[in-house]
Structure 1
Amino acid sequence: MYVCICNALKDRQLADASHGARNVAEVFRRCGRRPQCGKCLPDVAQMIEAARDEGDSAPLLAAE
């Protein structure tokens, strides 16, 4: 599904670029784009938070 119509970026592209991103601008840089109208920015910010939460809930590996 398209999240950013201005840049034709789909949810999967943005979600992949969100992992480890510090902010929305970094996500767009990773996609080789720049935000245009700004309507998608809250959605991209949510994707960053979801990626952070996903990382926090990942099981810890046992130290050998």
Structure 2
Amino acid sequence: MNSGACWNSLLKTLRENGFSLLDIDQILLTHHHIDHIGLINRIISEHPIPVYAHTHSIPV
């Protein structure tokens, strides 16, 4: 979800496992659900990386 709590949780989980946002080099979306895409815009604004999705997963 796109919230400060989720953002902080992502960064904390990465850090606890020895990673940072800069270690992510691409994002692959399997489907378009808000709980899967919520932080995409924030991630790529902080760290521009490619985001891949099947054309059927992009809402029209």
Band of TM-score, shorter chain: under 0.3
TM-score under structure 2 length normalisation: 0.26
Query: Taking CA–CA contacts closer than 8 Å with sequence separation of 6 or more, which of the two structures ends up with the larger relative contact order?
Result: 2
TM-score w.r.t. structure 1 length? 0.25
